[in-house]
Structure 1
Amino acid sequence: MFTAYVAVTVVAIVADAGIAVADLLRARFVLANSAEVGVPASWIPWLAALKLAGAAGLLIGLLGPRPLGIAAATGLVLFFIGAVAAHVLARVFHNIAFPAGYLALNTAALCLTAAWQR
């Protein structure tokens, strides 16, 4: 169980930090996707900061205080629920797998972090 917890959490950290960097670099796909679902470009740096904070919280929780990891994972799950909801509300389904994938990954990290806490 510990190995799964560490592996999934590390993958989540890398994935969340990676997409946050793409946001900060204003990657073409990020700008196109954001515009398609109605997210203003001015929000992208703030959303990237939330993803980076979540990734940092997962890392700190992995290295020490598990409650911080649980809080970070919870925040990331809520963030990506919002991203999936934005796709649904905008009726943009052709690329909904990306936020859904991040949602699934962070949900797995949350479940494993909480299970390991006990």
Structure 2
Amino acid sequence: MFAVYLVITLLASAIIGLAAVANLVGHDYPKRQADSMGVPRSWMLPLGLLLGAGSLGLLAGFALPVLGTLAAAGLVLYFIGAFAVHLRARDHHFGPWAAFSSLAVAALAVNLAYHGPW
């Protein structure tokens, strides 16, 4: 079970961390997505920081399991909010959202399965 927990947590942390970096450095893709969803570009930094905190929190969960659980739960909530923004903008292209949210849900699931609820 540890191998599954390790691989999924590292994968989720890496992919979500890359998304955080894309937001923080001002890459064109997150800017275009924000524009098409009606999200102000001034939110890109705070959203990138949230993604970065979640990514680092997943890694911190190796030392303090409760941090990993909270980070994974926070990322799931983040992507539920992203889904709501997609629906509000009447955007039905859920491919990237599904990939990122699936990683967050998988990280939460393996974290809970390996460590227990608390």
What interval of TM-score do these two structures reach, taking the shorter chain for normalisation?
A: over 0.9
Residue 15 of structure 1 deviates from its aligned partner by 0.7
Do the aligned partners of 1:84 and 1:100 also contact (CA within 8 Å) in 2? no
What CA distance in whole angstroms lies between the structure 2 residues aligned with 1:99 and 1:44? 16
Say what the alpha-carbon RMSD is for the aligned residues: 0.8
CA distance in 1: counterparts of 2:76 and 2:29, whole angstroms: 22
C-alpha displacement of 1:85 = 1.4
Distance 1:97 1:85 in 2: 15
Structure 2: any 5+ residue segments left out of the alignment? none
Would you say 1:106 and 2:104 are equivalent positions?
yes
Instruction: Give the TM-score normalised by the residue count of structure 1.
Output: 0.95
Aligned: 1:22 with 2:51? no
Matches within 5 A, 1:1-40: 1-40=1-40
Q: Does 1:53 align with 2:53?
A: yes
Unaligned runs of 5+ in 1: none
* Secondary structure of 1:29 counterpart: helix
Q: What percentage of residue pairs aligned between the two structures are identical?
A: 39
Question: How many pairs are equivalent?
Answer: 116
In 2, Cα distance between equivalents of 1:115 and 1:91:
35
